[in-house]
Structures are given as structure tokens and as C-alpha cells.
Amino acid sequence: MSIKFKHVSYVYAPATPFEQKGLDDVSFELKENQFIALIGHTGSGKSTLMQHFNALLQPSSGEIALAGHRITPTTKQRDLKTLRQQVSLVFQFPEAQLFESTVLADIAFGPKNFGYTDAEAKKLALKWLEKVGLPKSIANKSPFELSGGQMRRVAIAGVMAYEPAILCLDEPAAGLDPKGRHMMLELFKAYQARGHTVILVTHNMDDVADYADDVLVMEHGRLLRHTTPSEVFKDRAWLLKHGLGQPAASEFAAQLAENGLPLLPQPLTLTALTHRLVAHFKGGE
């Protein structure tokens, strides 16, 4: 099964002076169980698109098919509860949504909400507390006593604990230190590898290069491109024109090329860049 958007448009505040197009005739098909990056500069429609994945917003026109559901402008919200269990959104600063009295209760809230018993939910909560890299000793602390980075992990554990088939995350690693960021992305990659779809909204092109199978590029509410990281990062001029960057390794390779040392194919990651340079200078051609 796949995730299919067919001519999806979304209009904010229709028939008012504030009417604004959020999505404009967006069509694409994603394979399930892949790691998808959703990029585009601020205001490009990334968040609007993301909110369509679990029907927080319903299309003004067009149709969406995913996780066994069909979403149209007239789909009733009450038919969407199982969709919400299968498709979860994690917004920016999810730590702002913590509310329970203990860390464990906060993580267990999601699973309980979707019908797990107290005991099952508690077990899942403990499992995910550890999976997101937090010590068991904080389970009975108030989430509000934790550092910002720890609160972020608690919030994300609360969503992953009911194992949605499709997990959409908006800049989940912003504000985390390099080690925490790396750990978080590895966690999502492992989650995807175990048979889930991960959709990551990000400004970090290195993360796109390191993790994504597929990339969706948004601009002005339209889908500009749907392709692979190696394709999207090929054309530097195109990226600049659309306010997007390149991964650090590609940027460096572009500077080398400008100064007479082209490396092909274009490296996207530090490892690839090092390999190509070593092969170039140490022979092996």
C-alpha cells in the first residue's frame, strides 16, 4: 500500500478577505516504510501538508489515500479515529504539550487513549522511555523538572509508544545537542527500518542526505519536486534559487569543482566526500 495525494488543495479561511491557498494541486505517491524528508523554506506549505497526513486538516478539494483510509473534503471526522492511531504528528516544540504529573504517566497517555490497558500502557511507556535514551530513574519525576532536551524526548516517546504506522515529525531535533540530535535521528531511522513510514520536516540538509530515501520539496503551497536526495542536491543553482541549501559535503565539493577539482558523482555525506578525495589523491583509479 502507498500514501497517495491526488490533486489536493487546501484553502485557509475560504470566502473571507483572509482567504489564502495553503496547498495548491498537490499530487504524489509515496511508498510505505520509507524515510521521507519534507523540505522547503518557511511558509512553503510544509506544515499544511503535514497536517493532511492525519486529517487534522481535510483537503478543500482532491483526495488522499493512506493507511487504509480515504480522505476527501466530505469525510466525517468521527470516521478518523483509527487513522489518528496509525498516523501521528509531532509538532515543533512537542515538549510544550506535556501535562501529566509524572514522566511515565505522560508517555502512557497516548497508548491509553488508543485503548491499551493501564498495565499495557505502563509497560510500553517504560520501554519507550529507555528507547529514546532517558534513564529509568526519571520515570516518576515530574516532566517539568527535566531539561529541555529531556522533555523533548518524553514528548516523542509518548507518540512512538503506540507505534503509529506513519510518524510525521516537524523539526524534532531542533535545539538538541549534536549527540542528542544524532541519537534522535538514528531512533527514527531504526523505527522506519522496522517497518514504519517516517516523514521528517527539516531544514537540515545533512539530515536529508544522511537519512532520507525520498524528498518532497514544497514552495508556495505547491509540490516543486518529488525525488531522491542525490537528485535534489545535484543542481546547486536551482537550490539557491528556491532558498534551499546543500549538505555541507556537497557544498564543499562544489567549491572544489569551482576551483578545478570536480568529484563525481557528487558526494552528499562526509564519508562519501572523504572516500572520493582519498581515491583521487591516493590512486586506485
Q: Which residues bind other proteins (CB under 8 A)?
A: 41-43, 92-93, 147-150, 171, 174-182, 203, 205, 243-245, 248-249, 252, 255-256, 259-261, 270-271, 273-274, 277-278, 280-282
The residue among 194 and 282 lying less far from other proteins, judged by its C-beta, is 282
Going by DSSP bridges, is the β-strand pair 214-219/35-39 parallel, antiparallel, or unpaired? parallel
Cβ nearer to other proteins, comparing 65 with 254: 254
Q: What separation in angstroms does the CA of 210 have from each of 189, 207, 214, 259, 270? A: 10, 5, 11, 26, 9
Please identify, using beta-carbon distances, which residue of 21 and 181 lies nearer to other proteins.
181
- Pick 190 or 278: Cβ nearer other proteins: 278
Short-list 110, 8, 100, CA closest to 49: 8
Closest approach of other proteins to the CB of residue 47, in Å: 11
Smallest separation (angstroms) from other proteins to the CB of 171: 7
Give the shortest CB-131-to-other proteins separation in angstroms: 18
User: What whole-number distance in Å separates Cα of residue 4 and Cα of residue 20?
Assistant: 24
CA angle 7, 21, 75 (to 5 degrees): 50
Q: Which is nearer to other proteins, 17 or 260 (CB)?
A: 260
Closest C-alpha among 229, 167, 169 to residue 192: 167
Cell matching residue 76: 466525517
Q: How far is the CB of 62 from other proteins (least distance, A)?
A: 26
Q: How far is the CB of 43 from other proteins (least distance, A)?
A: 5
> Minimum CB separation from other proteins for residue 92, in Å?
7
Nearer to other proteins, 76 or 282 (CB): 282
Strands of the sheet containing 61-66, edge to edge, are: 20-31, 2-12, 61-66, 69-71
The answer to whether the beta carbons of residues 162 and 140 sit under 8 Å apart is no
Indicate if the alpha-carbon torsion angle 22, 28, 33, 37 is positive or negative.
negative
Which contiguous run of DSSP H or E holds residue 198? strand 197-201
Q: 207: which 3 cell numbers?
A: 539530515
- Give the residue with the Cβ less far from other proteins, 121 or 200: 200
- The smaller minimum CB distance to other proteins, of residues 138 and 165, is found at 138
CB of 141 to other proteins, least distance (A): 11
Q: How far is the CB of 146 from other proteins (least distance, A)?
A: 8
**What letter does residue 69 receive in the DSSP assignment?**
E
Judge whether 32 and 2 are in contact, CB under 8 Å.
yes
